[in-house]
Amino acid sequence: MVSFQSISVAQVTGQDYFNLSYSASEQQKYDSAMYFISRAIALDTTMSNAYYDRGLLRLSRQDLLGAIDDFSKCISMDIGHGQAYNNRGYVYIMLGMQTKGCKDFRVGRDLGIQQSVGNLEIYCKEYKE
């Protein structure tokens, strides 16, 4: 775990904040995790997994539009991030946007995400590919 006691403020990187966010999430300190992940993104906008993780945190807070934004940003940076497609699809389903959700589940499935296969079966029985 990164400790700020051994690092000057000028040396703190986005990855340091990302690691702190992960640790805070593991300890179920979600407000701290949100703060740290947002700081990570502010310092390094190229970290696709930071957007993904913040999307998960936003989803857990029922910030559905924020979660879609973050999953979409992750996907724009890493089109092979199947779990981001799956989770964005789930949020679309929660918002009643079945066509968009099912399309994302299909992409997740095609990228090898087993959860997307199950989500297609549950939420998209009438979805035509």
* Per-residue confidence (pLDDT) for residue 11, from 0 to 100: 87
List all residues 6 or more positions away from 4 whose beta carbon is below 8 Å from its beta carbon.
12
When pLDDT is averaged across residues 71-91 and rounded to a whole number, the result is: 98
Q: 97: buried, middle or exposed (CB in 10 Å: 19+, 13-18, 0-12)?
A: middle
Query: Which of helix, strand or coil describes residue 50?
Result: helix
- Closest to 93 (Cα-Cα) out of 59, 52, 54, 61: 59
**pLDDT tier for residue 8 given thresholds of 50, 70 and 90:** low
When pLDDT is averaged across residues 89-98 and rounded to a whole number, the result is: 97
Alpha-carbon distance 22 to 33, whole Å? 7
Question: What would you report as the CA-atom Rg of the chain, rounded to the nearest whole angstrom?
Answer: 16
pTM here?
Answer: 0.89
